[in-house]
């Protein structure tokens, strides 16, 4: 997996190597994540993009060990510096979560406890991991709310008394409570209008500069992802199909799926253009198609090759990884 120039001299904060996750059903095993590998570096934002069901959230839940049966991690390694996440026992895992790795879930209303005030939910997170008095924790909770743009008077408000944007900010405040090195953000702005979405994104950028944490940012909107990410991994049907520097992928997508995904969302800036969308539907991961998994939906598929041969993830140009026979053919021609 390519590194951005700003992290070339650093050791990875987290390394994911050949991760495999499956969901076991009465019909068979759903291979939700298959041989996925990438590194994430200190103070970096790595984005994961792809359609619903491609494996993005499954990766996040695997990293935090939140997967429950019928989901199983069937292979691979998850290393956080020198910590093997998959080998942590229950007590060490509890200490690891929130203290070193936190997560912001997609639906803030579902993530928050409806019968506890926002302040008490932040306080609970701190007191579960630190020897801190209620008064100290409450004071810190107020500072966190102010940091994410919420009036401190809201410390005693319940989730239903807050707007959608405020609830999302509150969840981010909880994630920041113990100053973790890595925060996973799973579609944190999906349910918000574009104005609030823009505000949240700017606050995330400001908070990263202030606190210096890394982010794994998950979304299906590639145009949104490029605004915040240093590097991007594009997923399709449980696999990476392209990865590299965010701006390079946005300006020159190499995989047909990346190109289609990019043209499925309107741009905030620039001229209006026709949205192309992606024909067809993602494959059944119990019985995925042979060869390239995208070939049944790809108008550029090479007959006799794409439907038979699985394209390897190959390095091109020093900074990009692409799994596409078209790229291999172009590289050979040049």
User: CA–CA separation, 198 vs 194, rounded Å?
Assistant: 6
Confidence of residue 5 (pLDDT cuts 50, 70, 90): very low
User: CA–CA separation, 274 vs 56, rounded Å?
Assistant: 27
Residue 333 clears pLDDT 60, i.e. is over it: no
| % residues pLDDT > 90 (the chain) | 75
- To the nearest whole number, what is the mean pLDDT of the chain? 90
User: CA–CA separation, 316 vs 334, rounded Å?
Assistant: 12
What pTM was computed for the model? Answer: 0.91
Residue 241 clears pLDDT 60, i.e. is over it: yes
User: CA–CA separation, 206 vs 9, rounded Å?
Assistant: 24
Omega within 30 of 0 (cis) for the link into 70 = yes
Mean pLDDT of 294-309: 95
Confidence of residue 267 (pLDDT cuts 50, 70, 90): low
Please tell me the predicted confidence (pLDDT) of residue 325: 95
Please tell me the predicted confidence (pLDDT) of residue 44: 97
For 333, phi then psi, to 5°, come to -70, -35
User: CA–CA separation, 70 vs 47, rounded Å?
Assistant: 27
Q: Choose the weakest-confidence range: 45-54, 67-76, 106-115, 271-280.
A: 271-280
Residue 211 clears pLDDT 50, i.e. is over it: yes
Could you tell me if 279 and 297 are in contact, meaning their C-beta atoms sit under 8 angstroms apart?
yes
Token pair of 51, please? 């359609």
| % residues pLDDT > 70 (the chain) | 91
Mean pLDDT of 61-74: 96
Confidence of residue 275 (pLDDT cuts 50, 70, 90): low
Answer CATH for 12-100+180-333 from 3.40.50.620, 3.40.50.300, 1.10.10.60, 1.10.10.10:
3.40.50.300
Q: Could you state, in order of their start, the residue ranges of all structural domains in the chain? A: 12-100+180-333
Token pair of 133, please? 């008095």
Residue 304 clears pLDDT 60, i.e. is over it: yes
Q: What angle do CA 15, 31, 55 make, to 5 degrees?
A: 55
């Amino acid at each position: 997996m390519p590194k951005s120039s700003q992290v070339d001299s650093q050791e990875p904060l987290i390394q994911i190597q050949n991760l495999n996750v499956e969901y076991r059903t009465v019909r068979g095993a759903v291979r939700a994540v298959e041989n996925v590998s990438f590194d994430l570096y200190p103070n970096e934002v790595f984005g994961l993009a792809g359609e619903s069901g491609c494996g993005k959230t499954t990766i996040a839940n695997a990293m935090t060990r939140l997967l429950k049966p019928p989901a199983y991690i069937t292979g691979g390694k998850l290393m956080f510096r020198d910590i093997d996440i998959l080998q942590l026992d229950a007590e060490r895992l509890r200490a690891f979560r929130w203290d070193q790795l936190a997560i912001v879930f997609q639906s803030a209303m579902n993530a928050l406890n409806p019968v506890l005030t926002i302040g008490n939910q932040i306080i609970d997170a701190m007191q579960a991991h630190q020897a801190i008095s209620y008064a100290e924790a409450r004071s810190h909770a107020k500072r966190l709310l102010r940091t994410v743009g919420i009036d401190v008077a809201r410390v005693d408000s319940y989730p239903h008394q807050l707007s959608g944007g405020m609830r999302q900010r509150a969840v981010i405040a909880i994630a920041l409570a113990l100053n973790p090195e890595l925060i996973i953000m799973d579609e944190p702005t999906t349910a918000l209008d574009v104005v609030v979405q823009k505000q949240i994104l700017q606050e995330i950028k400001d908070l990263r500069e202030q606190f210096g944490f890394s982010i794994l940012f998950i979304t299906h909107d590639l145009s949104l992802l490029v605004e915040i990410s240093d590097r991007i991994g594009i997923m399709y049907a449980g696999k990476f199909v392209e990865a590299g520097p965010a701006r390079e992928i946005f300006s020159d997508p190499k995989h047909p799926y990346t190109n289609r995904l990019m043209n499925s969302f309107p741009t905030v800036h620039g001229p209006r253009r026709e949205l192309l969308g992606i024909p067809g539907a993602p494959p059944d991961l119990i019985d995925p198609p042979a060869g390239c998994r995208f070939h049944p939906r790809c108008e550029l598929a090479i007959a006799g090759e794409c439907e038979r041969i699985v394209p390897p993830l190959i390095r091109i140009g020093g900074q990009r990884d692409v799994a596409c026979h078209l790229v291999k053919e172009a590289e050979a021609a040049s």
